[in-house]
Amino acid sequence: MNAPAVGTCYKQQGSDAALALGHKLVAGEIRQQRMDAWRAACLQNPQGILCCARGGQRSHIVQRWLHEAGIDYPLVDGGYKALRQTAIQATIELSQKPIVLIGGCTGSGKTLLVQQQPNGVDLEGLARHRGSAFGRTLQPQLSQASFENLLAAEMLKTDARQDLHLWVLEDESRMIGSNHLPECLRERMTQAAIAVVEDPFEIRLERLNEEYFLRMHHDFTPCVRRRTGLAGVLRVPASRTFGD
């Protein structure tokens, strides 16, 4: 649908005219295509919710059309804007609980230790980045807002699963790749107690070899082949030699 045209119509002629224009633009085959896609999405995601920018006419109309097609699907009052404010407020409130940080040298298994704690939140996993110079993964990092929303959702889920008294987090700098920690959480982390993990150099080296060479080589090689074809395959042995 031509949203700018509908918005201009709304400003110049009012709600009724904009609504009529919207129905005109999304009619016939276009409406059927949209309905088929929405119906499939609803059936594939039965726990989902409808959401537009501000919870206005768009999401309500789609909900009504789905209801007429026999699908009752909930929507978010206030839309994405309300969700975003809820996420920000939840992070502020949940960050007030005590925090214990897991620190130590690279290769000490800090991330795995956090993942094993029932009250642990894997910040690097949420950021899709290992937090180091070579920390990129195959998954692109999310936008800053999406990262913060995902963090809030994870904290809410973890808090709801148990009688949570404190958080266990990895000792991170402000930036994890291109994402930065919310200021409210980062401020609390600077005041937190730190448990330092100490492993012998040989164990750390073995773990780094597994994470940064063997596993990354296994994950990246198929992508190189798909992306660059034969030329990429010919260059792979060089990286394998370096990794060894």
Q: How far is CA 184 from the centre of its chain?
A: 19
Round to whole Å and give the CA distance between 130 and 119.
20
Round to whole Å and give the CA distance between 107 and 201.
9
User: Which helix or strand (DSSP H or E) is residue 197 part of?
Assistant: strand 193-197
Type of residue found at 21: L
Instruction: Report whether 77 contacts 55 (CB < 8 A).
Output: yes
Annotated catalytic residue 9: no
Catalytic residue among 9, 42, 52, 105: 52
Please, which residues have CB within 8 angstroms of residue 63's CB and are 6 or more apart in sequence? 50, 73, 75
Instruction: Report whether 50 contacts 35 (CB < 8 A).
Output: no
Catalytic residues: 52
